[in-house]
């Protein structure tokens, strides 16, 4: 059943990709793109502002093949590792394929001594990332230009990500520095060593609406929390 679902998802994605190439790619991306900015009972902001902090967990609405591609149909975090209990955080986007979770301070999970930076408690993130997965985030840039972004993340094995802007490749593969630390005696906590990569990403945006696509290229096992975008001085 799972394989069938993945096959269907793959076909939807392939059809979507064909639509894009037939239409001449990037310039037409925004006119054919069916995803919409995320919104819920707690987050009402819509397209995320640039400059500013762009939360990965607020990836677009639109579902598999449109707003994201994920290799597992269910959300491995919400409703999975974090049991459905009626709370906002445990049930956050639990019916979507992208795997989301949030930082926890009990039992020294995300406030462990092996993190390179301190994170806030209850910080949402996209986890269970695998090569080939991607998700879209609609942002709203105050002005056209080049922006760079720091990335808050963990990475058990290192790996590569890349970003598209409006359907066109916008970065070279970005090497994500591993946060693995053999000194941590708890194996599962290798997924919780938070780090900041400064100027991890540099992209050129149009004024107003842009769609960022975050691609997981290699390794996976990264937890991606947010990109903090600032303008690059001309």
Neighbours of 208 (CB within 10 A): 13
Tell me how far, at minimum, the Cβ of 42 lies from Ca ion, in Å: 22
Number of Cβ within 10 Å of residue 85's Cβ equals 9
70 vs 150, which CB is nearer to Ca ion? Answer: 70
Nearest approach, Cβ of residue 99 and Ca ion (Å) = 4
Q: Give the residue at shortest CB distance from Ca ion.
A: 72
**Other beta carbons within 10 Å of 65:** 20
Q: Among residues 99 and 150, whose Cβ is nearest to Ca ion?
A: 99
Distance CA(221)–CA(34), nearest Å, equals 28
Q: Distance between CA atoms of 24 and 99, rounded to whole angstroms? A: 32
Q: How far is the CB of 224 from Ca ion (least distance, A)?
A: 11
Residue 170: CB minimum distance to Ca ion, A: 22
Residues within the interface to Ca ion (CB under 5 A) = 70, 72, 97, 99, 128
CB of 214 to Ca ion, least distance (A): 12
* Number of C-beta neighbours around residue 168 at 10 A: 12
Output 52 or 97, the one with its CB closest to Ca ion: 97
In terms of CB distance, is 70 or 219 closer to Ca ion? 70
What are the residues whose beta carbons fall under 8 Å from the beta carbon of 227, sequence distance 6 or more?
A: 53, 54, 56, 149, 150, 151, 200, 201
Question: Looking at beta carbons only, is 29 or 125 nearer to Ca ion?
Answer: 125
Distances, alpha carbon 196 to alpha carbons 136, 163, 193, 224, in Å: 21, 17, 10, 10
DSSP state at residue 73: S
* Distance, CA of 163 to CA of 214 (rounded, Å): 5
- Of the pair 78, 210, the CB lying nearest Ca ion is at 78
Min dist CB 64 to Ca ion, Å, is: 9
Cα distance between the two ends of the chain? 52
């Amino acid at each position: 059943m799972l394989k069938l679902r993945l096959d269907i998802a793959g076909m939807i994605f392939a059809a979507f990709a064909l639509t894009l190439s037939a239409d001449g790619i990037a310039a037409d991306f925004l006119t054919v793109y069916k995803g919409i900015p995320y919104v819920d009972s707690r987050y009402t902001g819509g397209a995320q502002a640039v400059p500013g902090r762009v939360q990965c967990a607020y990836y677009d609405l639109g579902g598999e093949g449109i707003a994201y591609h994920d290799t597992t149909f269910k959300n491995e975090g919400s409703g999975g590792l974090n049991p459905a209990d009626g709370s906002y955080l445990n049930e956050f986007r639990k019916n979507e394929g992208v795997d989301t979770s949030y930082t926890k301070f009990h039992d020294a999970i995300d406030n462990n001594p092996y993190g390179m930076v301190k994170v806030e408690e209850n910080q949402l993130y996209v986890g269970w990332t695998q090569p080939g997965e991607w998700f879209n985030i609609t942002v709203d840039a105050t002005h056209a230009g080049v922006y760079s972004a720091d990335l808050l993340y963990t990475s058990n094995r290192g790996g590569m990500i890349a970003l598209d802007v409006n359907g066109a490749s916008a970065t070279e593969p970005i090497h994500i520095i591993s946060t693995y630390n053999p000194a941590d005696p708890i194996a599962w906590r290798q997924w919780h060593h938070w780090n900041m990569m400064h100027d991890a990403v540099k992209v050129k945006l149009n004024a107003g609406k842009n769609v960022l696509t975050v691609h997981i290229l290699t390794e996976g096992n990264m937890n991606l929390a947010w990109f903090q975008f600032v303008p690059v001085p001309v």
